[in-house]
Amino acid sequence: MDIHEYQAKEILAGFGVPVPRGGLAYSPEQAGYRARELGGEAWVVKAQIHSGGRGAAGGVKLCRTDEEVRAYAATLFGRDLVTKQTDARGKSVHRVWVETASEIRQELYLGLVLDRKTEQIMIVASAHGGMEIEDLAEEDPDSLRRMLIDPAVGLAEFQARELAFSLGLTGGQVAQMVSVLQACYRAYRDLDAMMVEINPLVLTGTGELVALDAKMSFDTNALYRRPDVAALRDPSQEDPREATAADNGLAYVGLDGDIGCIINGAGLAMATMDMIKLSGGEPANFLDIGGGASPERVCQAFRTVLSDANVRVILVNIFAGINRCDWIANGVVQAYREVGMTLPVVVRLAGTNVKEGQDILRKSGLPILTTDTLEEAAEVAVAHRKTPIAA
């Protein structure tokens, strides 16, 4: 789960990371008021969306009067901001963050992510901030510093100092960086984060380190024990289909194709999408229905897939272990009747109670297309994309 910049800053500030003073606004007038409330001679107005690259897309601006703040904010509200990290539809702006401008002497990059190979938290840092990490890795790979943190020990001070020195920091700046690194590590560890990124972490004209931008992502599977973090979710920044699926306990990712997929197991889902593409089609989604799927859960999966207007055929591919094919078959029949299906449905079942499941589909009297293999299922689905369902 992603959160907004201002939310990430509030969290990191609570752990001891220095951030500029700022205020949230939900209207142009409130943005102007925030500038007057903060005081000073200049402010930065930032669109709050779940995406990087906002500056290049026109979502960040330095303003020197409160009227300029109000006028610029007015251009952002309700706008679909398209960045290089969004799709063509962009992300809608419903709130802006107004903060005091900082004098920047140097920009640094700092990120904490999970290194799945070593199963440890990795710190990635660079003396050249203000760029996306992908661009840094391509344009100046030698500037990147990487450090692994042993989960049994945590981030040791000597590690933090070593990293600070490698970035060219000296004197009191080293002590500040140690404090920032330890604060970010505690936030990552204590809140079940998947990523903490400060870009840029700036060295100001007075020699202070300040987090000018911040980004955090969290492990969705751990949100049940982090209610304060879960409360930060902004559904307006999510694909409505994915938000609905998450609310119903389904793992769903929307894609651009027209073959809706209902599958159990992430590996089988990936294999199914590969087979669809190999057969000349395009999957409309990734949907893992999970283990122990009841008929009601299968029915909800159908509704989720059908919420995508681009879907022209539905492919159900189940290899039942924890699941049972008869449960899945009952769910398919129930969904078919409840939603008033008008699209072709292709079903491939294998595993536990497969014969019982196939009997249920056959005796239903519904025009459901059944196959024995994944290859055949994909080919049938591709062939029936533009074929209306039999009467």
Verify that 258 and 365 share a domain, yes or no: yes
Under the banding of pLDDT at 50, 70 and 90, the label for residue 79 is very high
Per the annotation, the verdict on 5 as an active-site residue is no
**Catalytic annotation, pick one of 5, 6, 72, 109:** 109
* 391 found inside a domain: no
pLDDT at 386 (0 to 100)? 63
- Binding residues are 46, 53-55, 99, 102, 107, 199, 213, 264
Establish whether 238 is a catalytic residue.
no
344: cis peptide before it, omega within 30°? no
The predicted pLDDT at position 272 comes to: 94
Specify binding-site residues for Mg(2+): 199, 213
Same domain, 120 and 221: yes
Model confidence over 188-247: pLDDT tens digits? Answer: 999 999 999 999 999 998 999 999 999 999 998 899 999 999 999 998 887 777 777 777
How far, in Å, CA of 284 to CA of 258, rounded?
A: 5
State the CATH number of the domain containing residue 360: 3.40.50.261
* Contact (Cβ atoms closer than 8 angstroms) between residue 166 and residue 145: yes
Burial of 389 (0-12, 13-18, 19+ CB in 10 A): middle
Of the given ranges (269-278, 284-293, 350-359), which has the lowest mean pLDDT? 284-293
Domain limits for position 55: 20-101
For residue 238, give Cα distances in angstroms to 91, 213, 245.
9, 21, 11
Contact 183, 214 (CB under 8 A): no
Q: Are residues 207 and 246 in the same domain?
A: no
Binding site as annotated, residues for substrate: 264
Q: Does residue 299 or residue 313 have the better pLDDT?
A: 313
- The whole-number average pLDDT for the span 60-65 is 96
Identify the CATH number of the domain in which residue 49 sits. Answer: 3.30.1490.20
In a domain, 10, yes or no: no
Going by pLDDT thresholds of 50, 70 and 90, the confidence category of residue 292 is low
Does residue 216 sit in the same domain as residue 250?
Answer: no
Domain boundary among 237, 265, 296: 237
**Residue whose tokens read 């196959």:** 371
Q: Which of 64, 81, 101 is the last residue of a domain?
A: 101
Identify the pLDDT of residue 249. 72
Contacts of 346 (CB under 8 A, 6+ apart): 313, 314, 315, 316, 368, 369, 370, 371, 377, 380, 381, 384
Give the confidence band of 390 by pLDDT, cuts at 50, 70, 90. Answer: very low
Sign for the CA dihedral angle at 87, 88, 94, 95 comes to positive
| Residue finishing a domain among 237, 259, 280 | 237
Q: Which of 5, 197, 242, 379 is catalytic?
A: 197
- Range 107-132 average pLDDT: 91
- Binding-site residue set for ATP: 46, 53-55, 99, 102, 107
Residues 175 and 82 in one domain: no
Distance (Å, whole) CA 150 – CA 156 = 9
pLDDT of the residue at 391: 40
pLDDT over 90 percentage in the chain:
63
